[in-house]
A and B are shown apart, each in its own frame.
Chain A
Amino acid sequence: MIKHIPHIILAIVLMLVQVFLLDNIDLGSSISIWIRPMIFPIIVLLLPTEWSSIWVLITSYIVALTLDLLLGGSGLYVVTLLPLAIFRPALIYMTTNRSIDSSDQSQLLARIPLPQLMFYVALSLLLYHALFFIMEALSWANFFRTVATIVLSTIASLIISWPVVRIFTSKLIA
Protein backbone atom coordinates (compact mmCIF):
# COMPACT_ATOMS: atom_id res chain seq x y z
CA MET A 1 0.00 0.00 0.00
CA ILE A 2 2.80 2.42 1.04
CA LYS A 3 4.60 2.01 -2.23
CA HIS A 4 1.43 3.09 -4.05
CA ILE A 5 1.08 6.33 -2.12
CA PRO A 6 2.93 8.36 -4.82
CA HIS A 7 0.42 7.15 -7.40
CA ILE A 8 -2.52 8.03 -5.17
CA ILE A 9 -1.09 11.50 -4.52
CA LEU A 10 -0.40 11.96 -8.23
CA ALA A 11 -3.99 10.96 -9.09
CA ILE A 12 -5.49 13.35 -6.53
CA VAL A 13 -3.24 16.25 -7.54
CA LEU A 14 -3.81 15.81 -11.27
CA MET A 15 -7.57 15.53 -10.84
CA LEU A 16 -7.65 18.64 -8.67
CA VAL A 17 -5.51 20.56 -11.18
CA GLN A 18 -7.79 19.43 -13.97
CA VAL A 19 -11.03 20.27 -12.17
CA PHE A 20 -10.09 23.52 -10.45
CA LEU A 21 -7.42 24.93 -12.72
CA LEU A 22 -7.38 23.68 -16.29
CA ASP A 23 -11.15 23.47 -16.67
CA ASN A 24 -11.64 26.92 -15.16
CA ILE A 25 -8.74 28.78 -16.67
CA ASP A 26 -9.91 31.65 -18.86
CA LEU A 27 -7.83 31.89 -22.02
CA GLY A 28 -10.49 33.83 -23.84
CA SER A 29 -13.26 32.26 -25.85
CA SER A 30 -11.27 32.36 -29.11
CA ILE A 31 -8.47 30.23 -27.60
CA SER A 32 -10.60 28.03 -25.36
CA ILE A 33 -12.44 26.44 -28.26
CA TRP A 34 -9.11 25.36 -29.78
CA ILE A 35 -7.07 24.47 -26.71
CA ARG A 36 -8.50 22.37 -23.90
CA PRO A 37 -5.65 20.62 -22.13
CA MET A 38 -6.39 17.40 -20.25
CA ILE A 39 -3.62 15.97 -18.10
CA PHE A 40 -5.49 13.35 -16.07
CA PRO A 41 -4.78 10.54 -18.63
CA ILE A 42 -1.25 10.70 -17.19
CA ILE A 43 -2.64 8.98 -14.06
CA VAL A 44 -3.48 5.91 -16.15
CA LEU A 45 -0.29 6.08 -18.21
CA LEU A 46 1.94 6.15 -15.12
CA LEU A 47 0.21 3.38 -13.20
CA PRO A 48 2.71 0.64 -12.22
CA THR A 49 3.35 -1.64 -15.17
CA GLU A 50 3.51 -4.67 -12.90
CA TRP A 51 -0.16 -4.19 -11.97
CA SER A 52 -2.55 -6.65 -13.50
CA SER A 53 -4.85 -5.29 -16.17
CA ILE A 54 -7.94 -5.68 -13.98
CA TRP A 55 -6.49 -3.26 -11.38
CA VAL A 56 -5.51 -0.79 -14.09
CA LEU A 57 -9.05 -1.00 -15.45
CA ILE A 58 -10.67 -0.51 -12.02
CA THR A 59 -8.37 2.41 -11.11
CA SER A 60 -9.08 4.07 -14.46
CA TYR A 61 -12.79 3.59 -13.93
CA ILE A 62 -12.62 5.24 -10.49
CA VAL A 63 -10.63 8.20 -11.87
CA ALA A 64 -13.00 8.62 -14.84
CA LEU A 65 -16.12 8.26 -12.70
CA THR A 66 -14.81 10.91 -10.26
CA LEU A 67 -14.16 13.30 -13.15
CA ASP A 68 -17.61 12.59 -14.57
CA LEU A 69 -19.16 13.51 -11.24
CA LEU A 70 -17.00 16.59 -10.71
CA LEU A 71 -17.12 17.93 -14.27
CA GLY A 72 -20.59 16.73 -15.29
CA GLY A 73 -19.27 14.47 -18.03
CA SER A 74 -22.32 12.14 -17.92
CA GLY A 75 -20.14 9.13 -18.70
CA LEU A 76 -17.93 10.81 -21.31
CA TYR A 77 -14.78 10.48 -19.21
CA VAL A 78 -15.44 6.79 -18.54
CA VAL A 79 -16.15 6.17 -22.23
CA THR A 80 -12.86 7.77 -23.26
CA LEU A 81 -10.52 6.78 -20.43
CA LEU A 82 -11.26 3.04 -20.25
CA PRO A 83 -9.98 2.33 -23.79
CA LEU A 84 -6.70 3.99 -22.80
CA ALA A 85 -6.45 1.61 -19.83
CA ILE A 86 -7.23 -1.48 -21.86
CA PHE A 87 -4.88 -0.56 -24.71
CA ARG A 88 -2.06 0.66 -22.46
CA PRO A 89 0.03 -2.54 -22.81
CA ALA A 90 -0.26 -2.30 -26.59
CA LEU A 91 0.73 1.37 -26.52
CA ILE A 92 3.75 0.62 -24.36
CA TYR A 93 4.78 -2.18 -26.68
CA MET A 94 4.28 -0.03 -29.78
CA THR A 95 6.27 2.91 -28.50
CA THR A 96 8.98 1.24 -26.42
CA ASN A 97 9.07 -2.22 -28.00
CA ARG A 98 8.84 -3.76 -24.53
CA SER A 99 6.13 -6.07 -23.38
CA ILE A 100 4.74 -5.54 -19.90
CA ASP A 101 3.73 -9.19 -19.77
CA SER A 102 7.29 -10.39 -19.46
CA SER A 103 8.83 -11.10 -16.06
CA ASP A 104 10.88 -8.33 -14.36
CA GLN A 105 9.04 -5.22 -15.53
CA SER A 106 8.74 -3.34 -12.26
CA GLN A 107 9.22 0.40 -12.74
CA LEU A 108 9.49 -0.16 -16.49
CA LEU A 109 8.45 3.42 -17.27
CA ALA A 110 11.32 4.76 -15.13
CA ARG A 111 13.87 2.69 -17.03
CA ILE A 112 12.93 3.34 -20.65
CA PRO A 113 14.86 6.05 -22.56
CA LEU A 114 13.41 9.57 -22.55
CA PRO A 115 12.55 9.78 -26.27
CA GLN A 116 10.58 6.53 -26.03
CA LEU A 117 8.85 7.71 -22.86
CA MET A 118 7.91 10.97 -24.56
CA PHE A 119 6.63 9.10 -27.61
CA TYR A 120 4.53 6.87 -25.36
CA VAL A 121 3.03 9.80 -23.46
CA ALA A 122 2.48 11.91 -26.61
CA LEU A 123 0.84 9.08 -28.58
CA SER A 124 -1.38 8.10 -25.67
CA LEU A 125 -2.45 11.72 -25.11
CA LEU A 126 -3.15 12.13 -28.81
CA LEU A 127 -5.34 9.03 -28.87
CA TYR A 128 -7.16 10.08 -25.73
CA HIS A 129 -7.82 13.61 -27.01
CA ALA A 130 -8.93 12.26 -30.38
CA LEU A 131 -11.42 9.90 -28.74
CA PHE A 132 -12.62 12.57 -26.32
CA PHE A 133 -13.25 15.31 -28.85
CA ILE A 134 -14.79 12.95 -31.41
CA MET A 135 -17.13 11.55 -28.76
CA GLU A 136 -17.95 15.06 -27.60
CA ALA A 137 -18.71 16.36 -31.10
CA LEU A 138 -20.42 13.18 -32.37
CA SER A 139 -20.38 14.77 -35.79
CA TRP A 140 -18.04 15.30 -38.72
CA ALA A 141 -19.66 18.64 -39.54
CA ASN A 142 -16.66 20.62 -38.24
CA PHE A 143 -14.09 17.99 -39.03
CA PHE A 144 -11.08 20.29 -39.44
CA ARG A 145 -11.93 22.23 -36.32
CA THR A 146 -12.15 18.96 -34.38
CA VAL A 147 -8.79 17.82 -35.77
CA ALA A 148 -7.19 21.19 -34.91
CA THR A 149 -8.63 21.03 -31.39
CA ILE A 150 -7.28 17.48 -30.96
CA VAL A 151 -3.77 18.43 -32.11
CA LEU A 152 -3.51 21.75 -30.23
CA SER A 153 -4.97 20.32 -27.03
CA THR A 154 -2.63 17.34 -27.18
CA ILE A 155 0.37 19.63 -27.55
CA ALA A 156 -0.81 21.78 -24.64
CA SER A 157 -1.47 18.72 -22.48
CA LEU A 158 1.95 17.30 -23.30
CA ILE A 159 3.71 20.55 -22.42
CA ILE A 160 1.88 20.76 -19.07
CA SER A 161 2.18 17.10 -18.18
CA TRP A 162 5.75 16.38 -19.31
CA PRO A 163 7.39 17.91 -16.21
CA VAL A 164 5.03 15.84 -14.07
CA VAL A 165 5.96 12.70 -15.97
CA ARG A 166 9.67 13.44 -15.65
CA ILE A 167 9.54 14.21 -11.93
CA PHE A 168 7.40 11.19 -11.23
CA THR A 169 9.51 8.71 -13.20
CA SER A 170 12.75 10.17 -11.68
CA LYS A 171 11.32 9.75 -8.20
CA LEU A 172 10.47 6.16 -9.00
CA ILE A 173 14.10 5.51 -9.91
CA ALA A 174 15.25 7.17 -6.75
Chain B
Amino acid sequence: MHRLLEFIKRIYVVLLFLLLEGIAIWQYATSTPYTEAKILSRTTAMGGYFSQKITNIDHFFSLSGENDLLTRRIAELEQTLEREREMLADYSEEAWKKRMQSEEEDELHYIYYPARVASMTISRMRNYIILDKGERDGIKKNMGVITPDKNLVGYIISCSDRYSVAMPVINTEFTMGGCLSMTNYTCSLRWNGSSPSHVDVIDISTYAQPEEGMPIEAWSERLPKGVIVGHIEKFEHNAAKTAYSARLRLAVDMSALDNVLIVENTHYGEIETLMDNIESQTSSSNNSL
Protein backbone atom coordinates (compact mmCIF):
# COMPACT_ATOMS: atom_id res chain seq x y z
CA MET B 1 0.00 0.00 0.00
CA HIS B 2 2.83 2.32 0.96
CA ARG B 3 4.64 1.54 -2.30
CA LEU B 4 1.47 2.15 -4.27
CA LEU B 5 1.04 5.54 -2.63
CA GLU B 6 4.69 6.35 -3.34
CA PHE B 7 4.19 5.36 -6.96
CA ILE B 8 1.04 7.47 -7.31
CA LYS B 9 2.86 10.38 -5.64
CA ARG B 10 5.57 10.10 -8.27
CA ILE B 11 3.24 10.08 -11.26
CA TYR B 12 0.30 12.12 -9.99
CA VAL B 13 0.98 14.95 -12.47
CA VAL B 14 0.76 12.56 -15.40
CA LEU B 15 -2.38 10.99 -13.91
CA LEU B 16 -3.98 14.41 -13.49
CA PHE B 17 -2.97 15.30 -17.06
CA LEU B 18 -4.56 12.10 -18.39
CA LEU B 19 -7.72 12.72 -16.35
CA LEU B 20 -8.14 16.35 -17.51
CA GLU B 21 -7.26 15.40 -21.10
CA GLY B 22 -9.73 12.53 -21.02
CA ILE B 23 -12.54 14.74 -19.75
CA ALA B 24 -11.72 17.40 -22.36
CA ILE B 25 -11.65 14.88 -25.21
CA TRP B 26 -14.98 13.44 -24.08
CA GLN B 27 -16.42 16.96 -23.87
CA TYR B 28 -15.05 17.84 -27.32
CA ALA B 29 -16.19 14.54 -28.79
CA THR B 30 -19.77 15.00 -27.62
CA SER B 31 -19.96 18.66 -28.63
CA THR B 32 -21.11 18.09 -32.22
CA PRO B 33 -22.32 15.06 -34.21
CA TYR B 34 -19.28 15.46 -36.53
CA THR B 35 -16.68 15.24 -33.74
CA GLU B 36 -18.66 12.46 -32.08
CA ALA B 37 -18.66 10.37 -35.25
CA LYS B 38 -15.01 11.10 -36.04
CA ILE B 39 -13.60 10.48 -32.59
CA LEU B 40 -15.82 7.46 -32.01
CA SER B 41 -14.67 5.86 -35.27
CA ARG B 42 -11.02 6.65 -34.43
CA THR B 43 -11.26 5.23 -30.91
CA THR B 44 -13.07 2.15 -32.21
CA ALA B 45 -10.34 1.65 -34.83
CA MET B 46 -7.62 2.12 -32.21
CA GLY B 47 -9.39 -0.20 -29.80
CA GLY B 48 -9.65 -2.81 -32.55
CA TYR B 49 -5.97 -2.38 -33.43
CA PHE B 50 -4.77 -2.84 -29.85
CA SER B 51 -7.20 -5.68 -29.29
CA GLN B 52 -5.77 -7.37 -32.40
CA LYS B 53 -2.20 -6.84 -31.15
CA ILE B 54 -3.04 -8.25 -27.72
CA THR B 55 -4.74 -11.24 -29.35
CA ASN B 56 -1.64 -11.80 -31.52
CA ILE B 57 0.66 -11.67 -28.49
CA ASP B 58 -1.64 -14.03 -26.61
CA HIS B 59 -1.67 -16.34 -29.63
CA PHE B 60 2.13 -16.23 -29.84
CA PHE B 61 2.52 -17.39 -26.24
CA SER B 62 0.02 -20.20 -26.77
CA LEU B 63 1.86 -21.49 -29.87
CA SER B 64 4.02 -23.86 -27.85
CA GLY B 65 0.97 -25.52 -26.35
CA GLU B 66 -0.72 -25.67 -29.75
CA ASN B 67 2.41 -27.30 -31.21
CA ASP B 68 2.31 -29.98 -28.55
CA LEU B 69 -1.35 -30.57 -29.25
CA LEU B 70 -0.71 -30.80 -32.99
CA THR B 71 2.18 -33.21 -32.54
CA ARG B 72 0.03 -35.43 -30.33
CA ARG B 73 -2.73 -35.24 -32.91
CA ILE B 74 -0.29 -36.17 -35.70
CA ALA B 75 0.87 -39.16 -33.66
CA GLU B 76 -2.73 -40.31 -33.24
CA LEU B 77 -3.47 -39.82 -36.93
CA GLU B 78 -0.33 -41.68 -37.95
CA GLN B 79 -1.44 -44.57 -35.78
CA THR B 80 -4.90 -44.55 -37.33
CA LEU B 81 -3.33 -44.39 -40.78
CA GLU B 82 -1.05 -47.27 -39.93
CA ARG B 83 -4.02 -49.32 -38.82
CA GLU B 84 -5.82 -48.54 -42.08
CA ARG B 85 -2.71 -49.42 -44.11
CA GLU B 86 -2.38 -52.75 -42.38
CA MET B 87 -6.03 -53.54 -42.93
CA LEU B 88 -5.72 -52.72 -46.62
CA ALA B 89 -2.42 -54.59 -47.02
CA ASP B 90 -3.76 -57.98 -46.01
CA TYR B 91 -7.39 -57.51 -46.79
CA SER B 92 -9.52 -60.56 -46.59
CA GLU B 93 -13.00 -61.14 -45.30
CA GLU B 94 -11.73 -62.98 -42.23
CA ALA B 95 -8.88 -60.62 -41.43
CA TRP B 96 -11.21 -57.66 -41.84
CA LYS B 97 -13.72 -59.09 -39.36
CA LYS B 98 -10.95 -59.96 -36.93
CA ARG B 99 -9.49 -56.48 -37.02
CA MET B 100 -12.89 -54.85 -36.71
CA GLN B 101 -13.47 -56.88 -33.55
CA SER B 102 -10.27 -55.77 -31.85
CA GLU B 103 -8.36 -52.62 -32.62
CA GLU B 104 -6.02 -52.77 -29.71
CA GLU B 105 -2.82 -50.74 -29.89
CA ASP B 106 -0.60 -53.76 -29.41
CA GLU B 107 -1.79 -55.09 -32.71
CA LEU B 108 -0.48 -52.08 -34.56
CA HIS B 109 2.70 -52.40 -36.52
CA TYR B 110 3.89 -48.89 -35.66
CA ILE B 111 3.13 -46.79 -32.62
CA TYR B 112 3.92 -43.06 -32.54
CA TYR B 113 4.98 -41.08 -29.47
CA PRO B 114 5.21 -37.26 -29.60
CA ALA B 115 8.39 -35.79 -28.10
CA ARG B 116 10.34 -32.55 -28.01
CA VAL B 117 14.01 -31.92 -28.42
CA ALA B 118 15.53 -31.10 -25.03
CA SER B 119 18.99 -30.41 -26.44
CA MET B 120 21.16 -31.38 -29.36
CA THR B 121 24.47 -30.82 -31.09
CA ILE B 122 25.05 -30.37 -34.81
CA SER B 123 28.63 -29.13 -34.99
CA ARG B 124 30.48 -32.28 -33.90
CA MET B 125 31.39 -35.43 -35.76
CA ARG B 126 29.28 -37.45 -33.32
CA ASN B 127 26.11 -35.47 -32.78
CA TYR B 128 23.33 -36.56 -30.46
CA ILE B 129 19.78 -35.43 -29.74
CA ILE B 130 18.28 -35.59 -26.27
CA LEU B 131 14.51 -36.01 -26.28
CA ASP B 132 12.17 -35.28 -23.38
CA LYS B 133 10.55 -38.71 -23.36
CA GLY B 134 12.07 -41.76 -21.70
CA GLU B 135 11.35 -45.28 -20.56
CA ARG B 136 8.43 -44.26 -18.39
CA ASP B 137 6.75 -42.90 -21.54
CA GLY B 138 7.29 -46.21 -23.33
CA ILE B 139 10.43 -45.23 -25.27
CA LYS B 140 12.92 -47.99 -26.02
CA LYS B 141 16.24 -48.36 -27.76
CA ASN B 142 16.12 -48.69 -31.55
CA MET B 143 12.92 -46.76 -32.06
CA GLY B 144 12.98 -44.44 -35.06
CA VAL B 145 12.77 -40.65 -34.77
CA ILE B 146 11.02 -38.63 -37.46
CA THR B 147 9.54 -35.14 -37.82
CA PRO B 148 5.73 -34.70 -37.83
CA ASP B 149 5.91 -34.29 -41.63
CA LYS B 150 7.63 -37.66 -41.93
CA ASN B 151 11.26 -36.73 -42.50
CA LEU B 152 14.03 -38.84 -41.02
CA VAL B 153 15.81 -37.56 -37.92
CA GLY B 154 17.57 -40.68 -36.55
CA TYR B 155 16.93 -43.45 -34.06
CA ILE B 156 17.04 -43.97 -30.30
CA ILE B 157 20.28 -45.41 -28.95
CA SER B 158 19.81 -44.99 -25.22
CA CYS B 159 17.05 -44.26 -22.70
CA SER B 160 16.78 -43.12 -19.13
CA ASP B 161 13.61 -42.86 -17.09
CA ARG B 162 12.67 -39.41 -18.35
CA TYR B 163 14.90 -38.82 -21.38
CA SER B 164 16.18 -40.62 -24.40
CA VAL B 165 19.17 -40.07 -26.68
CA ALA B 166 18.82 -40.32 -30.41
CA MET B 167 21.59 -40.68 -32.94
CA PRO B 168 20.74 -38.30 -35.79
CA VAL B 169 21.60 -38.76 -39.47
CA ILE B 170 24.40 -36.26 -38.95
CA ASN B 171 26.52 -38.57 -36.85
CA THR B 172 29.49 -40.29 -38.51
CA GLU B 173 28.50 -43.56 -36.82
CA PHE B 174 24.97 -43.43 -38.17
CA THR B 175 24.12 -46.29 -40.49
CA MET B 176 20.85 -46.92 -42.24
CA GLY B 177 19.65 -48.15 -45.56
CA GLY B 178 17.74 -46.08 -48.01
CA CYS B 179 15.86 -46.54 -51.24
CA LEU B 180 15.02 -44.38 -54.17
CA SER B 181 11.46 -43.21 -53.75
CA MET B 182 8.84 -45.23 -55.66
CA THR B 183 11.45 -47.87 -56.64
CA ASN B 184 13.00 -50.86 -54.94
CA TYR B 185 16.58 -49.77 -55.56
CA THR B 186 18.29 -49.66 -52.19
CA CYS B 187 21.34 -47.73 -51.09
CA SER B 188 23.32 -46.87 -47.95
CA LEU B 189 23.38 -43.60 -46.04
CA ARG B 190 26.58 -42.13 -44.62
CA TRP B 191 27.51 -38.78 -43.14
CA ASN B 192 31.04 -37.56 -43.72
CA GLY B 193 30.87 -34.82 -41.11
CA SER B 194 31.23 -31.89 -43.48
CA SER B 195 27.78 -30.29 -43.62
CA PRO B 196 24.84 -30.66 -41.21
CA SER B 197 22.39 -30.36 -44.11
CA HIS B 198 23.87 -32.99 -46.44
CA VAL B 199 24.51 -36.75 -46.32
CA ASP B 200 26.12 -39.12 -48.82
CA VAL B 201 24.35 -42.01 -50.45
CA ILE B 202 26.39 -44.88 -51.81
CA ASP B 203 25.74 -48.14 -53.59
CA ILE B 204 22.86 -47.07 -55.76
CA SER B 205 22.39 -49.71 -58.42
CA THR B 206 23.52 -48.78 -61.93
CA TYR B 207 20.09 -49.98 -63.12
CA ALA B 208 18.47 -47.26 -61.09
CA GLN B 209 17.98 -43.95 -62.82
CA PRO B 210 18.66 -41.30 -60.19
CA GLU B 211 17.71 -37.74 -60.95
CA GLU B 212 18.43 -34.49 -59.26
CA GLY B 213 15.70 -33.67 -56.78
CA MET B 214 14.59 -37.27 -56.49
CA PRO B 215 13.61 -38.15 -52.89
CA ILE B 216 15.37 -40.93 -50.98
CA GLU B 217 13.34 -42.80 -48.39
CA ALA B 218 14.63 -44.53 -45.28
CA TRP B 219 14.82 -48.29 -45.59
CA SER B 220 14.88 -49.67 -42.09
CA GLU B 221 12.94 -52.03 -39.88
CA ARG B 222 12.83 -49.21 -37.31
CA LEU B 223 10.67 -47.02 -39.51
CA PRO B 224 7.53 -47.28 -41.60
CA LYS B 225 7.68 -46.79 -45.33
CA GLY B 226 7.53 -43.32 -46.80
CA VAL B 227 9.91 -41.57 -44.39
CA ILE B 228 11.95 -39.14 -46.51
CA VAL B 229 15.65 -38.74 -45.82
CA GLY B 230 16.33 -36.04 -48.36
CA HIS B 231 16.56 -35.15 -52.01
CA ILE B 232 19.38 -35.88 -54.44
CA GLU B 233 21.42 -32.77 -55.10
CA LYS B 234 24.04 -34.36 -57.37
CA PHE B 235 25.06 -37.87 -58.32
CA GLU B 236 27.83 -39.68 -60.20
CA HIS B 237 29.21 -43.10 -60.96
CA ASN B 238 31.70 -44.45 -58.47
CA ALA B 239 35.31 -45.04 -59.59
CA ALA B 240 34.67 -48.64 -60.66
CA LYS B 241 31.39 -47.61 -62.34
CA THR B 242 29.62 -50.40 -60.45
CA ALA B 243 27.19 -48.12 -58.68
CA TYR B 244 26.08 -44.54 -58.28
CA SER B 245 26.89 -42.38 -55.33
CA ALA B 246 24.95 -39.22 -54.57
CA ARG B 247 24.97 -36.13 -52.38
CA LEU B 248 21.69 -35.67 -50.57
CA ARG B 249 20.18 -32.51 -49.15
CA LEU B 250 18.48 -33.53 -45.91
CA ALA B 251 14.71 -33.01 -45.78
CA VAL B 252 14.92 -32.04 -42.11
CA ASP B 253 16.53 -28.84 -40.89
CA MET B 254 18.55 -30.15 -37.97
CA SER B 255 19.27 -26.67 -36.63
CA ALA B 256 15.55 -25.94 -36.17
CA LEU B 257 14.36 -29.24 -34.78
CA ASP B 258 11.72 -29.06 -32.04
CA ASN B 259 8.75 -31.40 -32.17
CA VAL B 260 9.43 -34.97 -33.27
CA LEU B 261 7.67 -38.31 -33.36
CA ILE B 262 9.29 -41.42 -31.94
CA VAL B 263 8.18 -44.50 -33.88
CA GLU B 264 8.02 -47.95 -32.41
CA ASN B 265 7.98 -50.96 -34.69
CA THR B 266 6.08 -53.48 -32.55
CA HIS B 267 7.63 -56.29 -34.58
CA TYR B 268 11.18 -55.05 -34.07
CA GLY B 269 11.90 -57.37 -31.12
CA GLU B 270 10.81 -60.35 -33.19
CA ILE B 271 13.05 -59.31 -36.10
CA GLU B 272 15.97 -58.69 -33.74
CA THR B 273 15.59 -62.15 -32.13
CA LEU B 274 15.45 -63.71 -35.55
CA MET B 275 18.58 -61.91 -36.68
CA ASP B 276 20.39 -62.88 -33.45
CA ASN B 277 19.46 -66.52 -34.00
CA ILE B 278 20.78 -66.41 -37.54
CA GLU B 279 23.99 -64.77 -36.40
CA SER B 280 24.52 -67.29 -33.59
CA GLN B 281 23.81 -70.15 -36.01
CA THR B 282 26.28 -68.72 -38.51
CA SER B 283 28.99 -68.23 -35.87
CA SER B 284 28.50 -71.76 -34.43
CA SER B 285 28.73 -73.30 -37.91
CA ASN B 286 31.91 -71.27 -38.54
CA ASN B 287 33.36 -72.54 -35.27
CA SER B 288 32.53 -76.18 -36.11
CA LEU B 289 34.29 -75.76 -39.47
Q: Which residues of A contact B35 (CB under 8 A)?
A: 74, 138
Chain B proximity of A51: nearest CB distance (Å): 12
Query: Whole-angstrom distance between the alpha carbons of A74 and B39 in the complex?
Result: 14
Asked whether A97 is an interface residue with its Cβ less than 8 Å from the other chain, the reply is no
Asked whether B278 is an interface residue with its Cβ less than 8 Å from the other chain, the reply is no
Chain A proximity of B39: nearest CB distance (Å): 7
A135 & B13 in contact (Cβ 8 Å cutoff): no
Q: Considering the complex, give the chain A residue whose CB is closest to the CB of B28.
A: A75
Asked whether B206 is an interface residue with its Cβ less than 8 Å from the other chain, the reply is no
Q: Which residues of B contact A64 (CB under 8 A)?
A: 24
B25 & A79 in contact (Cβ 8 Å cutoff): yes
Chain A proximity of B137: nearest CB distance (Å): 59
A57 & B17 in contact (Cβ 8 Å cutoff): yes
A78 & B39 in contact (Cβ 8 Å cutoff): no
Give the contacting residue for B13; candidates A53, A73, A79, A83; CB below 8 A.
A53
Q: Which residues of A contact B13 (CB under 8 A)?
A: 53-54, 57, 86
List the count of A-B residue pairs having beta carbons below 8 Å apart: 50
Asked whether A30 is an interface residue with its Cβ less than 8 Å from the other chain, the reply is no
Query: Whole-angstrom distance between the alpha carbons of A115 and B35 in the complex?
Result: 39
Q: Which residues of A contact B27 (CB under 8 A)?
A: 74-75, 78
Q: Which residues of B contact A73 (CB under 8 A)?
A: 28
Q: Considering the complex, give the chain A residue whose CB is closest to the CB of B42.
A: A138
Chain A proximity of B55: nearest CB distance (Å): 27
Q: Which residues of A contact B285 (CB under 8 A)?
A: none
Tally of A interface residues using CB under 8 Å: 18
Give the contacting residue for B21; candidates A53, A82, A138, A139; CB below 8 A.
A82
Asked whether B1 is an interface residue with its Cβ less than 8 Å from the other chain, the reply is no
Q: Considering the complex, give the chain A residue whose CB is closest to the CB of B39.
A: A138
Convert B17-36 into 0s and 1s, putting 1 for each residue whose CB lies closer than 8 angstroms to a CB of A: 10011011111100110110
Asked whether A34 is an interface residue with its Cβ less than 8 Å from the other chain, the reply is no
Convert B126-144 into 0s and 1s, putting 1 for each residue whose CB lies closer than 8 angstroms to a CB of A: 0000000000000000000
Query: Whole-angstrom distance between the alpha carbons of A68 and B193 in the complex?
Result: 78
B38 & A82 in contact (Cβ 8 Å cutoff): no
Q: Which of A40-57 contact B (CB under 8 A)?
A: 53-54, 57
Q: Which of A114-154 contact B (CB under 8 A)?
A: 135, 138-139
Asked whether A168 is an interface residue with its Cβ less than 8 Å from the other chain, the reply is no
Q: Which of B25-75 contact A (CB under 8 A)?
A: 25-28, 31-32, 34-35, 38-39, 42
Chain A proximity of B32: nearest CB distance (Å): 8
A74 & B20 in contact (Cβ 8 Å cutoff): no
- 8 further A-B contacts with Cβ under 8 Å, apart from A54-B12, A57-B20, A86-B13, are A54-B16, A74-B28, A75-B25, A75-B27, A78-B24, A82-B21, A82-B24, A139-B38
By a beta-carbon cutoff of 8 Å, the part of chain B in contact with chain A is: 12-14, 16-17, 20-21, 23-28, 31-32, 34-35, 38-39, 42
Can you list 23 pairs linking A and B with CB atoms under 8 Å apart? A53-B13, A54-B13, A57-B13, A73-B28, A74-B27, A74-B35, A75-B23, A75-B24, A75-B26, A75-B28, A76-B24, A76-B28, A78-B23, A78-B24, A79-B25, A79-B28, A82-B20, A82-B24, A85-B17, A86-B17, A135-B28, A138-B35, A138-B38
